[in-house]
């Protein structure tokens, strides 16, 4: 059993059905679908599958963008997504026969994935959307070329070094930005928080963690990163990944001038605000999982055993742990769930106290039908204490009183669990003071407890108890416990 903490907090994702609806309503996907249906025998494409320039106005008109000066660019982008996701099939131009009437273009027709997108399952729709996300991600990390002719060398070949563009570095930068945005977006409860200011997101990639006041050079890098991200988020918004409020163009009106730093919340908004949509959370998490990042989601453990549940939620925030547990319990009969949880809670390994803590919290969500399973473990030295607590909270009759050994074992186990999760310091101090105050001669009995964490717990109590003489007693008891081992 692993006690490793997850890299990221768990996220609460919408259902696949809700996410699929969001994917279908994303503007770029909707445009790609319209162009896929528009494609026919008269559609002409270039060697890379792109629409020939002469057909871009017609494609823009099909999208209702005939009067938009950017209509052809939007149509080209939507067509590229349609081709790369299989909504459109491209047939290459036939081999040249020498006929002067041949134009060297290929044709296009409706692709198989158009039917999958419009009539497939939610998971089918999301798979196609992820492919579209990949296409847009590649566009967002591509270099911006003002004059292509400047890149052509004397030999007629493209000189990529003149671009000063490293595709891997660009991809890593945007992946890092989306990862930071994911982390900043997911709250302690696993649900999205508010939008993130673009300056804060850019700074998270540029400013070293240990830097106090940023230098002018660092601030200039942050400003450059903001402008770069502004362009990238404008591309990522139509796929449904983000909600984006762009940088106020008035701030960039004077080329070469550095915009003044924001002074209030309203001013910050002018520098760009971004948030991942529920679909964006799904998409970024999918990329993280593909890259081998541990990115848990609430519900991942619902079909797994109780051992996986108790280990998996060990370091989840409280709300996320409860939500995960509720989903797990919903798929089982209360009596069976209680038996499985109690069996998984046993163990004298380092993760044992936390498993028992979460077992107790899970049992609190069950009803009276779990009582027989709980009563079965009353004699158990590891589980008997928590079983009595559960029964007492429900006002059950005929609950045998715990032995002194069991009381002190449960006390050590409880503090060990709280220390493991590094909970609220004040609450932990109150727990320590309460336990010592309830039992006279607490430390005389505690150091004898046969629990693997006894010495560590007593040392911690010595640090936490505000009374100096009591703290000294705790440290002496810890020394005795270590000497006994």
Q: Is the dihedral of CA 212, 218, 223, 224 positive or negative?
A: negative
Instruction: Give the pLDDT score at 460.
Output: 93
Mean per-residue pLDDT, 127-153: 80
Which of helix, strand or coil describes residue 101? Answer: coil
Q: Write the pLDDT tens digit of every residue in 11-21.
A: 999 999 999 99
Instruction: Give the pLDDT score at 96.
Output: 47
Whole-angstrom distance between the N-terminal and C-terminal Cα of the chain? Answer: 25
Tokens at 219, concatenated: 């601030």
Q: What mean pLDDT value characterizes the chain?
A: 87
Provide the CB-side half-sphere exposure for 319 (13 A, CA).
10
Work out the pLDDT band at 145, boundaries 50, 70, 90.
low
Instruction: Give the pLDDT score at 441.
Output: 86
How distant is the alpha carbon of residue 206 from its chain centre?
A: 21
Say whether pLDDT at 355 is over 60: yes
Mean per-residue pLDDT, 218-230: 88
Bridge partners for 243 per DSSP: 275
Give the H or E element holding residue 197: strand 196-197
Are 457 and 415 in contact by the 8 Å Cβ rule? The answer is yes
Burial 85-111 (b: 16+ CB within 10 A, else e): bbbbbbeeeeeeeeeeeeeebbbbebb
The span from the CA of 345 to the CA of 356, in Å, is: 5
- The 3-class SS string of 329-368 reads HHCCCHHHHHHHHHHHHCCCCCCHHHHHHHHHHHHCCCCH
Tokens at 135, concatenated: 């296409």
Instruction: Give the pLDDT score at 6.
Output: 58
Phi, psi for 217 (deg, rounded to 5): -65, -40
Question: Burial of 373 by CB count in 10 Å (0-12 exposed, 13-18 middle, 19+ buried)?
Answer: buried
Instruction: Give the pLDDT score at 149.
Output: 54
Work out the pLDDT band at 250, boundaries 50, 70, 90.
confident
Could you tell me which of 53, 236, 34, 228 has the C-alpha nearest to residue 132? 236
Tokens at 371, concatenated: 């009582």
Phi, psi for 467 (deg, rounded to 5): -80, 125
Q: Is the dihedral of CA 287, 289, 290, 291 positive or negative?
A: positive
Say whether pLDDT at 92 is over 80: no
Could you tell me which of 169, 171, 188 has the C-alpha nearest to residue 134? 171
Q: What is the CA radius of gyration of the chain?
A: 31
Work out the pLDDT band at 4, boundaries 50, 70, 90.
low
């Amino acid at each position: 059993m692993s006690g490793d903490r997850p890299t990221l907090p768990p996220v609460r994702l919408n259902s696949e059905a809700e996410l699929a609806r969001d994917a279908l309503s994303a503007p770029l996907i909707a445009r790609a679908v319209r162009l896929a249906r528009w494609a026919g025998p008269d559609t002409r494409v270039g060697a890379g599958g792109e629409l020939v320039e002469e057909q871009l106005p017609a494609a823009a008109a099909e999208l209702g963008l005939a009067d938009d000066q950017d209509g052809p660019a939007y149509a080209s982008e939507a067509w590229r997504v349609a081709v790369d996701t299989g909504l459109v099939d491209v047939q290459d131009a036939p081999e040249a026969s020498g006929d002067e009437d041949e134009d060297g273009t290929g044709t296009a027709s409706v692709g198989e994935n158009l039917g999958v997108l419009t009539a497939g399952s939610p998971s089918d729709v999301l798979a196609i959307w992820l492919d579209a996300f990949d296409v847009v991600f590649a566009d967002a990390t591509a270099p911006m070329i003002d004059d292509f002719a400047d890149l052509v060398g004397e030999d007629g070949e493209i000189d990529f070094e003149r671009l000063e563009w490293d595709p891997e570095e660009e991809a890593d930068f945007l992946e890092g930005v989306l990862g930071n945005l994911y982390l900043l977006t997911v709250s302690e409860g696993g649900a999205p928080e508010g939008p993130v200011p673009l300056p804060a997101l850019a700074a998270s990639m540029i400013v070293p963690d240990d830097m106090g006041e940023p230098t002018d050079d660092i601030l200039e890098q942050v400003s450059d990163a903001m402008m770069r991200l502004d362009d990238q988020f404008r591309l990522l918004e139509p796929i449904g990944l983000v909600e984006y409020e762009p940088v106020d163009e008035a701030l960039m009106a004077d080329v070469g001038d550095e915009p003044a730093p924001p002074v209030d919340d309203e001013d910050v908004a002018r520098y760009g605000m971004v948030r991942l949509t529920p679909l964006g959370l799904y998409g970024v998490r999918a990329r993280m999982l593909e890259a081998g990042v541990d990115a848990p989601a609430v519900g991942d453990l619902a079909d797994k055993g109780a051992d996986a549940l108790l280990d998996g939620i060990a370091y989840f925030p409280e709300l996320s742990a409860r939500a995960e547990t509720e989903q797990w319990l919903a798929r089982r009969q209360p009596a069976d769930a209680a038996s499985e949880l109690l069996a998984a809670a046993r163990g004298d390994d380092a993760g044992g106290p936390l498993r028992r803590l979460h077992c107790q919290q899970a049992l609190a969500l069950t009803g009276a039908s779990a009582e027989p399973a709980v009563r079965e473990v009353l004699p158990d030295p590891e589980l008997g204490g928590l079983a009595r607590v559960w029964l007492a909270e429900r006002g059950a009759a005929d609950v045998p009183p715990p032995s002194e050994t069991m009381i002190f074992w449960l006390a050590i186990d409880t503090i060990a669990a709280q220390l493991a999760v590094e909970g609220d310091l004040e609450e932990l101090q109150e727990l320590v003071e309460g336990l010592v105050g309830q039992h006279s001669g607490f430390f005389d009995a505690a150091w004898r407890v046969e629990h693997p964490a006894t010495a560590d717990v007593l040392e911690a109590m010595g640090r936490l108890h505000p009374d100096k003489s009591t703290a000294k007693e705790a440290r002496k008891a810890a020394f005795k416990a270590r000497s006994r081992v």
